Structure 1
Amino acid sequence: MGRVRTNNEDAFCDGPDIRLWAVADGMGGHENGEWASAAIVAALGKLPVPADFDAACHAIADAIHRANEEVFSEATARDIQMGSTVVALHVTGRRFCVLWVGDSRGYLLRHGQLIQISKDHTQVQEMVDRGLMRPEDAEGHPMSHVLARAVGVQADVEVDAIADEAEPGDVFLLCSDGLTGQVSDAEIAEILSTTPNHEEAREKLTQMTLDRGAPDNVTIAIVGLNETTMLSLNTPIGSILS
């Protein structure tokens, strides 16, 4: 819970058994945002994830599409607008896939370098992509949190996904924008790099957010890979999902 809002519209999926983690940040106010994010997490949490990597990635994307239909239908029935962002991580053996809608982010820390895997689905980011705004001007822009895409807002939604090879020592961070609105990428990289205990790193990042006023709720999931965990999640390697 942040310092300003009276309810928490974030939800998360912690599913090591199904090799799936996710963070969702609801929108629509109070119970509406909570309902939307919870619906997405419920759809992912009960998913029978296939052993095959490519099939699993497509199954996760399909689950997000089904959640979009559920949230949109509920919003239409209530005559309101509600929705949610989502960012999900799937790992099988030496492959990983990050899928997302909205501005909840997925990061990878590798060899001390922090890489933002996801790209925000915001109106400001779209202007940057179209060359209408410089990337440095997008930082801190007053409209930076206006979403261009979210789960449940329209009848159909496009889910972006990036898949690649994983390495022992990789650390993934999934978060709602409650974190990235207050803590810079450089600060995230510093804490992840210098705090090998993931629970402690998560607590440091959360406390840093709270100390800076936390106008939004914040949810953070940190997933680290080593040889043992990668072998336990092993399956034949498939092709890259574009």
Structure 2
Amino acid sequence: MAVSYQPFRIESGAKTHEGRVRDHNEDSFVAKEGQGLWAVADGMGGHEGGEWASAKIVEKLDEMELPEDFDAACDAIAEAIRKANRAIIVEARRRAKQMGSTVVALFVRDERYAVLWVGDSRAYLLRDGALKQLSHDHTQVQEMVARGIMSPEDAIGHPMGHILSRAVGVRDEIEVDKVTGEVWPGDIFLICSDGLHGYVAEADIVRTLTRSPPEHVTEELVEMTLANGAPDNVTVIAVWASDPTLLSLPDR
């Protein structure tokens, strides 16, 4: 699918899979291409709990109306995540069990983008052949790296690397991190659950992003995780911001 709005032609593709080990999918996603909003949520808490938590985040994001002002829209996205946080906590207490979810959201409006996230689902930007991670993982290991307690090299493949330091639905108050920037023609954004970045090398991600349109990218990246064993659920969304000169071309 493609949507043309100044100054870019925006195309996106999305794919989710339960993986080769699990018999259910706790990931959820939303793709509101017409409003420039995409999000991936990776649930925790078992079959029912994780699915419910991630679906609640997607529900809150999907039902919202985004303001015209860019900064106000970012605030509304963060508030939708906080509303989901409150709803998950209430449901977790009713069930007497812990449940929660990560979330990463991408918002594109005109020549600006914003990434908002909680947890270790990630956002990347591929620009001029270089892949940059826009988000940083809310994990205990990453926090130790940030504080200088652990080196980045020691963090790679650390057995405690999956333990989150922040997630939606775990605490009464949730802090939603945000980064913003300018969109350039040719930018490719990628948001995903850790089922992708934990099992597919960044070099392979770059090669795939640069040779296929978004709808094929997402399928190929999921297939790569399956080929690598895919022990976790995986969800991938790719978003292209094409050169303005392509705005007049018909949808592919």
For the superposition of Structure 1 and Structure 2, which TM-score range results when normalised by the shorter chain? Answer: over 0.9
Shift of 1:30: 0.6
Q: Residue 221 of structure 1 corresponds to which residue in structure 2?
A: 237
Give unmatched runs, 5+ long, in structure 2: 1-17
Name which structure has the greater RCO, CA cutoff 8 Å, separation 6+. 2
1:162 is matched by which residue type in structure 2?
V
Separation in structure 2 between the aligned mates of residue 71 and residue 229 of structure 1, nearest angstrom = 45
Rounded to whole Å, the distance in 2 between the matches of 1:221 and 1:154 is 28
The answer to which structure has the higher strand fraction is: 2
Give yes or no for the alignment of 1:43 onto 2:60. yes
Q: Matched residues, percent identical?
A: 59
In structure 2, the residue matched to 1:76 is 93
For residues 137 and 202 of structure 2, the distance between their equivalents in structure 1, rounded to whole angstroms, comes to 14
With normalisation by structure 2, the TM-score equals 0.89
> For the residues of structure 2 that align with 1:43 and 1:92, how far apart are their CA atoms?
20
5+ long unaligned stretches in structure 1: 233-242
- Residue 12 of structure 2 corresponds to none
What TM-score results when the alignment is normalised by the length of structure 1? 0.92
Deviation sequence 1:166-220 (CA, Å, 0-9, x none): 1111110000000011012222112112x23112221221111001110101000
Q: Which amino acid aligns with 2:62?
A: G
- SS of 1:225's equivalent in the other structure is strand
For 1:73, the aligned partner's letter is V
Give the number of equivalent residue pairs. Answer: 231
CA distance in 1, matches of 2:107, 2:207: 24
What is the rounded CA distance, in whole Å, between the counterparts of 1:124 and 1:88 in structure 2? 23
Any residues of structure 2 matched to 1:110-129 within 5 Å, and which?
A: 110-129=127-146
Q: CA RMSD in A?
A: 1.6
| Counterpart for residue 223 of structure 2 | 207
Q: Tell me by how many angstroms 1:13 deviates.
A: 0.3
Q: Quick one: distance in 2 between partners of 1:56 and 1:230?
A: 27
Paired letter, 2:194: D
> Which residue number corresponds to residue 76 of structure 2?
59
Q: Distance in 1 between matches of 2:232 and 2:101?
A: 14
Q: After TM superposition, which residue ranges in structure 1, 4 or more long, deviate above 3 angstroms?
A: 227-232
Cα offsets for 1:74-113 (capped at 9, x unmatched): 1012111000000000000000000000000000001111
What CA deviation, in whole Å up to 9, does each residue of 1:102-131 have, x standing for no partner?
000000001111010000000010111111
Could you tell me which residue of structure 2 aligns to residue 236 of structure 1? none
Which residue of structure 2 lines up, in the alignment, with residue 198 of structure 1?
214
